[in-house]
Amino acid sequence: MKPARGSSRASTQGPKGAGRDGKRVQQKRLPHGERAQDKSRKKAPAEPRKVRGQEKWKPLDKSSIMFLDNLLSLSILSVLPIKRKEKEETQKHLNSLKDQFLAKCSQLPVPPQKHGNLMHVSQQFHRENQNVKHGNKKIDELQESSQAVVSQLEKLQVKMERLEHECKIMRNKLEEEELNAQKFIQLTEQAVLRLPALPLYPEDEPTLQEKIMRAAPDPKAVMKALQKRKVTGNAKVFLELAHKQMDHL
């Protein structure tokens, strides 16, 4: 079996990092922790941009510094811990930071029209805070009133639905009564009243009074007794009705 081609041939590639001449290129080392990109990014510090009329600016006045001092003191007292030891250390540290900040503010130049604006800002903030509280109170009152109105509307809606249901029931009953009335009218118009025929009596047949007089042993005495006896109004009416009924028979 033949060996692979070029298996016994020496390598023609030079060592890594060598140039065309076969010499190793020495790279320049950068300082510790510094990269080439960081070095290229470094630029000269930008100069602060000047504002028109800046030469007329003056440091903050004493009233503004005192206002900042009071504001920071209140803020420090509000964030101090409860424990006494930690409170003293924290207060000392915060007071030191406050003094440094106020020292910087006293040297900070500001436009002339900004002097004394801190007090106005505080007052404006207080007024706006009061307005916000008043607005929130109004909103709460409106929400309560709107909830009351909504609950009242819901009750009215339930009542209206109940009345509509009752009206629907009454309409159905009225329709049923109208149908029954129409059916009754149709029956009365179409039906024929069938009564039994009256018995026929001859014209010369005696009346009931005559029959009673004939049956009595002394009809004249009965007539006199009836005429002499006082008849009450009800009995008289009854007798008249009886006579009328007998006449119709």
- pLDDT category at 74 given cuts 50, 70, 90 is confident
Task: Tell whether the model's pLDDT for residue 152 goes beyond 50.
Answer: yes
pLDDT digits (tens, 9 = 90+) for 99-139: 888 888 777 777 766 555 666 777 777 889 899 999 999 99
Q: What DSSP designation does 69 have?
A: H
Phi-psi region of 4 (alpha: psi -120 to 50; beta: other; left: phi over 0): beta
Query: What pLDDT score does 166 carry?
Result: 96
Q: How many helices (H) and strands (E) does the chain have?
A: 7, 2
Task: Tell whether the model's pLDDT for residue 17 goes beyond 50.
Answer: no
pLDDT digits (tens, 9 = 90+) for 78-89: 777 666 667 778
- pLDDT category at 23 given cuts 50, 70, 90 is very low
Task: Tell whether the model's pLDDT for residue 223 goes beyond 60.
Answer: yes
Residue 117 CA to residue 123 CA, distance in Å, equals 10
Q: Where are the domains of the chain?
A: 58-113, 212-242
Give the CA radius of gyration of the chain: 64
